C-alpha cells in the first residue's frame, strides 16, 4: 500500500480553517478517499489534557518555553498515535494546526524565534512535514475581530479556551508576520490563501491545491 498524504491547515484564530478542513474532508470522501482528521493541540487522550492545560485561561503564568514544550509533547503523541499510523495505512490525513502554528505563535508571538522550533521539530517529530499546508490569512483586522467575538461568546457560554484569544494585537501581528515569512520561505509546501473570498471560493482553491498534488 502506498503511503498516504498529509495536509495541515494553518491560520490565525478566526481564519475559518476548521470550516475549510471539514469541507475538504467531505470532498475527499466523495472522491473515495479514506480520510483521518485530527487537530493540535489535542486529538489524543494525552493531547486533550495538554490542550486543556494550555488553553484554560485560568492557567496563569505558563512560561513561553513551558508552552513550547507542551506543544511539542502534544505533537509527538499525535504523530505516534494518529498521524504516522494513518499515513502508513494510506489515508489522507487532515490536521488542524501543526508545527507552523508553533513557529508562528511561540516562535513569533512569544518571540522565542524560529530556530528552536525547527530544531525541536527535527528532534521530536522526526522532521515529519506535511505534503501540503493550507494557510488561510484573511485580512488581519477581520481575523482579530472574529477571534475577539469568539472570545466574548465563549465567556458568555462559560466555555474556556480563551488564553490565546485574549492576547493583544501586537502578539497577533507577530503571529501574522511569521506565517507570511513561513509561506515565503516554503512556497512548495505552503499554499497561502489571502483575503476574504467567502467560504465556497476558498474551498474551490483548497480543492485545486489538493487536486494538483494528489493527481485526482
Residues at the contact surface with ligand TMP, assessed by CB under 6 A: 13, 39-41, 55, 71, 96-97, 101-102, 105-106, 164
CB of 21 vs ligand TMP, minimal distance in Å: 10
Closest CB 78 distance from ligand TMP, rounded Å: 10
- Cβ proximity to ligand TMP, 97 vs 203, nearer residue: 97
Residue placing its CB nearer to ligand TMP in the complex, 4 or 41: 41
Q: Using alpha carbons only, what angle is made at residue 148 by residues 21 and 177, rounded to the nearest 5 degrees?
A: 70
Other C-beta atoms within 10 Å of 60: how many? 7
Looking at beta carbons only, is 27 or 171 nearer to ligand TMP? 171
State the number of CA atoms in the 13 A half-sphere of 107 facing the CB.
22
Which three three-digit cell numbers place residue 141? Answer: 483586522
Of the pair 2, 61, the CB lying nearest ligand TMP is at: 61
Q: Which is nearer to ligand TMP, 97 or 174 (CB)?
A: 97
- What does the alpha-carbon distance between residue 189 and residue 126 come to, in Å, rounded to a whole number? 17
Least CB distance to ligand TMP at residue 171 (A): 10
Half-sphere exposure in the Cβ direction for 25 (13 Å, CA): 16
DSSP calls for 158-203: T----TTTTS-HHHHHHHHHHHHHHHHH-TTTEEEEES---HHHHH
Q: How far is the CB of 99 from ligand TMP (least distance, A)?
A: 7
Number of H helices, E strands in the chain: 9, 5
E strands, the chain, are: 5-11, 35-39, 92-96, 132-137, 190-194
Q: Which of 15, 10, 105, 100 is nearest to 54 (CA)?
A: 105
* Min dist. Cβ of residue 207 to ligand TMP (A): 22
Q: Residue 76 or residue 214: which is nearer to ligand TMP going by CB? A: 76
| Shortest Cβ 12–ligand TMP spacing (Å) | 8
Amino acid at each position: 500500500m502506498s503511503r498516504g498524504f498529509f495536509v495541515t491547515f494553518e491560520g490565525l484564530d478566526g481564519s475559518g480553517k476548521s470550516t475549510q478542513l471539514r469541507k475538504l474532508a467531505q470532498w475527499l470522501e466523495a472522491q473515495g478517499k479514506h480520510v483521518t482528521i485530527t487537530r493540535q493541540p489535542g486529538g489524543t487522550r494525552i493531547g486533550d489534557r495538554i490542550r486543556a492545560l494550555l488553553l484554560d485561561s485560568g492557567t496563569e503564568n505558563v512560561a513561553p518555553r513551558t508552552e513550547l514544550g507542551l506543544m511539542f509533547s502534544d505533537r509527538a503523541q499525535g504523530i505516534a498515535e494518529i498521524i504516522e499510523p494513518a499515513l502508513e495505512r494510506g489515508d489522507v490525513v487532515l490536521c488542524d494546526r501543526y508545527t507552523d502554528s508553533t513557529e508562528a505563535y511561540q516562535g513569533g508571538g512569544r518571540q522565542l524565534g524560529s530556530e528552536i522550533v525547527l530544531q525541536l521539530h527535527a528532534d521530536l517529530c522526526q522532521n515529519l512535514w506535511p505534503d501540503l499546508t493550507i494557510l488561510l490569512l484573511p485580512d488581519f483586522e477581520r481575523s482579530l475581530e472574529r477571534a475577539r467575538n469568539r472570545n466574548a461568546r465563549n465567556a458568555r457560554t462559560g466555555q474556556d479556551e480563551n488564553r490565546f484569544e485574549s492576547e493583544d494585537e501586537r502578539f497577533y501581528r507577530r503571529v501574522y508576520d511569521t506565517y507570511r515569512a513561513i509561506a515565503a520561505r516554503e512556497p512548495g509546501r505552503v499554499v497561502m490563501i489571502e483575503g476574504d473570498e467567502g467560504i465556497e471560493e476558498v474551498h474551490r482553491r483548497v480543492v485545486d491545491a489538493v487536486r494538483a498534488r494528489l493527481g485526482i
